[in-house]
Amino acid sequence: MKTIILAATLQPGDYVGFTFFIGSMAMMAATVFFFLEMRNVDGKWKTSLLVSGLITFIAAVHYYYMRDFWVENGTSPTEFRYIDWILTVPLMCVEFYLILKAFGAKMGLLWKMIFYSVFMLVTGYLGETVFRDQNALWGAISTLGYAGIFYEVWFGSAKQLSKNSNNPTLQKAFNTLAWFIFVGWAIYPIGYMAIPGGLLSGILPLESMDIIYNIGDAINKIGFGLVIYSLAVSSKNQEAA
């Protein structure tokens, strides 16, 4: 008779499981914060803060399942992780469109960013699962999607809209989000290269992949939302002054 596990039990020394538990609670706490603070920002920022809350909520739900999967099986919940990313990463790209919409951002920018993010994730998933023996090649292909997002926020139309806004608060927030793309998202390729056959396989232990991914998710998803919240509060204070 199969034993039914009612609650995941974290074992001593399970550092990977520790980050899963921390991640699930941090994402849920951030979700509550963003949803409650929607009442305290101007109407034009409510949608941006709603999206921030949705990002952390989706992640919190997936982390709840991922932590149980890890504790029960001791293996990486790859499918759960990519389901989470295929929903949350495009939403993070939507944030750029929302904060620039008032300054002339077109729907073309939105769909372009979403396409780049989905392309990056689908090809990354194929390299991590279906074509693991060729993960370096698929990792390189996936990087093309990341390069597209990077170009848009650092040199492309999104960057130009930010420059043309003449709003120092928005420009500061936009630049902070751009640094998240540059530095924060760079965490994920390190985890990807730790899988068997990857460039860092044997150098980094396999368990480090999930630790790196978990830390990256917490920094990027919660951090993105906090930047949006800071922008909304600063804009409200400027208008009240």
Structural domains in the chain, sorted by start: 15-235 (1.20.1070.10)
Distance of alpha carbon 121 from alpha carbon 143, whole angstroms:
9
Residue 1: its pLDDT value, please?
Answer: 43
Q: State how far the Cα of 112 lies from the Cα of 144, in Å rounded to an integer.
A: 13
Low-confidence stretches of the chain (pLDDT < 70) are: 1-8, 10, 237-241
Cβ of 89: how many Cβ atoms within 10 Å? Answer: 25
Res 105: pLDDT = 85
Sign of the alpha-carbon torsion through 35, 37, 39, 43: negative
Reduce the DSSP state of residue 41 to 3 states and report it.
Answer: coil
State both tokens at 232. 């909304």
Q: What is the pLDDT of residue 238?
A: 65
Give pTM, 2 decimals: 0.89
- The pair phi, psi for residue 18, each rounded to 5°, is -60, -45
The torsion defined by the Cα of 173, 176, 182 and 188, in degrees rounded to 10, comes to -100
Q: What is the pLDDT of residue 240?
A: 59
Report the first-to-last Cα separation within the chain, whole angstroms.
68
The whole-angstrom distance between residue 18's C-alpha and the CA centroid of its chain comes to 19
- CA dist., res. 226 & res. 59, Å (int): 16
